[in-house]
Amino acid sequence: MNTITPSEVKQRLAKGEKLRLLDVREDEEVAEIALPGIQHIPLGELPERYNEIEPAEEIIVICRSGNRSGKACEYLSAMGVTGLKNMVGGMLEWEKL
């Protein structure tokens, strides 16, 4: 599984890169802290909604700690979605930056 760190994501966003970000946290978690322009599909809804994910060269998958996003990457990869990167450390690490 390909990974990316929160600091790498933050640096790329600061440079003005348009990143495809997929947040698999629950609604209440996203309400606490969300990144602008992010696509939100809770992990439990992926089986019904994965077709909403537009193909891209790179899709950065985000959750609270990196665990659920890792599971999402595995599931989406099995469904044929490519270009996935798990943001290790998740939003917990993001908030420390």
Residue type at 89? G
**51-75: burial string, b at 16+ Cβ within 10 Å, e else:** eebeeeeebbbbbbebebbbbbbeb
Other CB atoms closer than 10 Å to residue 19's CB: what's the count? 16
User: Is residue 63 annotated as part of the catalytic site, yes or no?
Assistant: yes
Longest Cα separation, the chain: 34
Catalytic residue (one of 63, 72, 73, 81): 63
Residue type at 6? P
User: Which residues form the catalytic set?
Assistant: 63
